[in-house]
Structure 1
Amino acid sequence: MPAQDPNDRYVRIAVLVMLSLALLAGVCATAIHWIGPARQPMDLIVPPLASLLFGGLILALLRRPAWVLGVTRIALGASALALIAPAWLYTVQASLSPEVRLIDNLPPVSSLFVVFLAMLMIFIPGRRAFLAAALGWVLIALPVLLYLLSHRQELWTPRGRDLVMAYGPVSIMVVVLLPVQRGLRGKIRRLASERDIMEVMLHRDPLTGVQSRLLGERVLREVLADRAAGGVVMLDLDRFKTINDTYGHPVGDSVLKAVAAGCERLLRANQCIARWGGEEFLVIVPDVDAVALQRVAERLCAAIAAVPVAPVPQVTASLGTTLLQSGDTLDTVLQRADLALYRAKELGGNRVCSAEGQGTGLAG
């Protein structure tokens, strides 16, 4: 069974974490503004509305994981509006009313702005992240910075210096780190791709494309561990050395590829064929009885005999079958299948022999 690609799951988890933190921030902001002595109308409206929105997005993503892209876009858009609105409202208010100071009325959102930039870097691909970060900085940070630069008495207060640092050097540094983050993401993708290639090399025979012996052994051990009904078919091509000696190894390789492809087409999704070594293959067939296993082996034997590989007149195989028994190990199963295969060879090949005593011959 192929391993599930974890990337989508990680993205959903990241979005859920982002939404949960945003919900927590909204709830805390709501509580602070309601408890605080000075209540601004926007501070009483925006945080609870944002909290409801983020809570709804969490529920939507939990129920519909495929909506992760749309949910992310809505969350980023809502976060942008929640930061833009107070930046402009309180800046304009302080500019028009000399008795009002921006540093007294602006909510503590400077740290959230830095987090917002980081979210843009993570969830918006390519150069659009630069454009989104630049637009966010112009709409959120720039009006505050322009106000503070024109009101030096507020600029040199502790809150004013904190705002300048957050909206100035810190936010610019976060955006500058974007290429580094993109480079790391590309490196991670390349490493993941190399990992997938290595897994294919470990799990697939490079010549025939069927499963490797390493994976075949693992699958057989899993079937044995489940203690389920099943069986194995060990097959070996007849007189394969003669084919190599007569027609050359390239033709022999073509025979192996054609046989593997023909057998794989006959098998169901839960059945496994692995190249065991040389011209030998092992087929693992779960959930079968003796009669069904015999039928599978006979179809394989007939399919191999019908494989056309010029200039070889005909390719045949000997097959040995055995059912899985209680207390079996990998060695005991393979030993019985190998003995049945040896008996089919002794009888002339192109036939199926069973370790349980059944046998059929297809030779003319």
Structure 2
Amino acid sequence: MSASMSRERFIHRASIVTLALTSFAAGVASLIARLGPVRHPLDLTLAPAMFLVYIGLLIALVRWPSRVGGIMRTALIAALIALIAPAWFYTLQATFTPNLQLIDNYPPISSLLLVLVVMAMIHLPTRQGVAIVLLGWLLVALPVLVYLFTHPSELRTPRGADLLMTYGPVFILFFALLPVQRGLTSRIQRLVSEQARMETMVNRDPLTGLYNRRFCERVLEDLLSRHVPAGVIMFDMDRFKAINDTHGHPVGDRVLQRVAERCQQLLRKNECLARWGGEEFLIVVPNVAAPALHALAERLRKSIGELSIEPVPLVNASVGITLIQDGDSMGTILQRVDQALYRAKKHGGNVVES
């Protein structure tokens, strides 16, 4: 698996978890607003609206995973709106309404600003993430902090101290962690890339770029353990030793590379093609019936025979096929397909035998 694929999978899973948890939080906030002793119109409308928005985004992400970037940017904008609206509404209300304290009316949303920071860390490039986080702090935290510092009696209360810590030191700590997180992410991506490169070296044949025998055996063992119906194709290049002896090993290597390229073009992604050894190749085909397996083997044989590889006048392959049967082990399967290949060779080559 490539580094980019690993990162995309991580981001997709993290996005689903984020939207699910945010939807749950919005749902709980909606319930609290309805059951509370004092029902503010903003709380009764904003929290349910955010619940519907995030549920909709979650459904969209599950249905269209390739649109994760746009969906999560929409989620960030919605989160900003959900934070900015109550911050300014309740701050201005407390400022201009006599005997009304902000600490008594401000909803428990201060920690959501930290969630916004985390979302920006995961889903935005460094500059955009920093810009969104700073914008969020200026529009959400700053008006609350200004109000508290101008009303010391509220600042000294437990609720005031909680808001001060969340929008002050705790936020600064999270913000300081943003470049650290970017550095860790970059390092993790390099490690994943190196792991992918090492896996390629372990599982791939260096000449043809196909999977090697070790990897194909693992695929076959996995299908057997899960009792997945499958077929196996083994083919061997006819008179390949003569090609090497007549034209040299570089030409023989080019023949193997061209054959590998042609076969890959005819196979689907879930069909494992491996260089089994020398001029011998093995293909594992999941969920296939006997007629379809034979037809695929014939297409491969004919396609190989149509290759034009100078200075080799003719390239052919003998093909053996078999289906996995009840009670089979990897040994019995390989023995049976090898015997089918032997019969194809015995009949003069360039044929398919089962």
Q: Measure, in 2, the Cα distance between the counterparts of 1:149 and 1:324.
A: 76
Q: 2:52 aligns with which of 38, 51, 56?
A: 56
Over 3 Å counting, the alpha-carbon distance change for 1:317 and 1:54 in structure 2 is same
Q: Which amino acid aligns with 2:47?
A: S
Aligned residue number for residue 287 of structure 1: 288
Query: 2:274·2:283 contact (CA, 8 Å) conserved in 1?
Result: yes
Deviation at 1:138, TM superposition (A): 1.6
Over 3 Å counting, the alpha-carbon distance change for 1:233 and 1:112 in structure 2 is closer
Deviation at 1:272, TM superposition (A): 4.1
The 3-state SS of whatever aligns with 2:125 is coil
Q: Measure, in 1, the Cα distance between the counterparts of 2:281 and 2:143.
A: 72
Q: Measure, in 2, the Cα distance between the counterparts of 1:107 and 1:300.
A: 68
Deviates more, 1:212-221 or 1:62-71: 62-71
CA RMSD of aligned residues (A): 3.5
Q: Which amino acid aligns with 1:207?
A: L
Q: Measure, in 1, the Cα distance between the counterparts of 2:227 and 2:278.
A: 30
Q: Measure, in 2, the Cα distance between the counterparts of 1:93 and 1:74.
A: 29
Aligned residue number for residue 129 of structure 1: 129
Deviation at 1:232, TM superposition (A): 3.1
Query: 2:320·2:340 contact (CA, 8 Å) conserved in 1?
Result: yes
Query: 2:54·2:75 contact (CA, 8 Å) conserved in 1?
Result: no
Aligned residue number for residue 275 of structure 1: 275
Aligned residue number for residue 352 of structure 1: 351
Aligned residue number for residue 362 of structure 1: none
Query: 2:50·2:82 contact (CA, 8 Å) conserved in 1?
Result: no
Q: Measure, in 1, the Cα distance between the counterparts of 2:341 and 2:256.
A: 18
Aligned residue number for residue 27 of structure 1: 31
Deviates more, 1:44-53 or 1:97-106: 97-106
Query: 1:210·1:260 contact (CA, 8 Å) conserved in 2?
Result: yes
Report the TM-score when normalising by structure 2: 0.80
Query: 2:19·2:58 contact (CA, 8 Å) conserved in 1?
Result: no
The 3-state SS of whatever aligns with 1:110 is coil
Query: 1:273·1:284 contact (CA, 8 Å) conserved in 2?
Result: yes
Aligned residue number for residue 216 of structure 2: 216
Aligned residue number for residue 16 of structure 1: 20
The 3-state SS of whatever aligns with 1:236 is strand
Over 3 Å counting, the alpha-carbon distance change for 1:353 and 1:110 in structure 2 is closer
Query: 1:61·1:68 contact (CA, 8 Å) conserved in 2?
Result: no
Per-residue CA distance 1:249-300 (angstroms, 9 max, x = gap): 22221010112223333446665432111111123455343x6655544443
Highest RCO, 1 vs 2 (Cα 8 Å, sep ≥ 6): 2
Q: Measure, in 1, the Cα distance between the counterparts of 2:268 and 2:90.
A: 68
Query: 1:154·1:160 contact (CA, 8 Å) conserved in 2?
Result: yes
Alignment of 1:6 with 2:2, yes or no, is no
Alignment of 1:44 with 2:45, yes or no, is no
Q: Measure, in 1, the Cα distance between the counterparts of 2:43 and 2:339.
A: 76
Over 3 Å counting, the alpha-carbon distance change for 1:302 and 1:75 in structure 2 is closer
Q: Measure, in 2, the Cα distance between the counterparts of 1:150 and 1:78.
A: 30
Query: 1:301·1:350 contact (CA, 8 Å) conserved in 2?
Result: no
Over 3 Å counting, the alpha-carbon distance change for 1:316 and 1:178 in structure 2 is same
Over 3 Å counting, the alpha-carbon distance change for 1:321 and 1:151 in structure 2 is closer
Deviation at 1:197, TM superposition (A): 3.9
Query: 2:86·2:106 contact (CA, 8 Å) conserved in 1?
Result: yes
Task: Give the alignment of 1:297-308 within 5 angstroms.
Answer: 297-308=297-308
Q: Measure, in 1, the Cα distance between the counterparts of 2:313 and 2:345.
A: 19
Aligned residues: 345
Over 3 Å counting, the alpha-carbon distance change for 1:114 and 1:244 in structure 2 is same
Larger of the two Rg values belongs to structure: 1
Aligned residue number for residue 359 of structure 1: none
Aligned residue number for residue 316 of structure 1: 316
Q: Measure, in 2, the Cα distance between the counterparts of 1:63 and 1:342.
A: 54
Aligned residue number for residue 360 of structure 1: none
Q: Which amino acid aligns with 1:19?
A: S
Deviation at 1:44, TM superposition (A): 1.2
Query: 1:54·1:75 contact (CA, 8 Å) conserved in 2?
Result: no
Aligned residue number for residue 187 of structure 1: 187
Between the aligned residues of both structures, percent identity stands at: 47
Query: 2:318·2:350 contact (CA, 8 Å) conserved in 1?
Result: yes
Over 3 Å counting, the alpha-carbon distance change for 1:17 and 1:294 in structure 2 is closer
Q: Which amino acid aligns with 1:54?
A: M
Q: Measure, in 2, the Cα distance between the counterparts of 1:90 and 1:240.
A: 83
Q: Which amino acid aligns with 2:23?
A: L
Deviation at 1:86, TM superposition (A): 3.9
Over 3 Å counting, the alpha-carbon distance change for 1:106 and 1:235 in structure 2 is closer
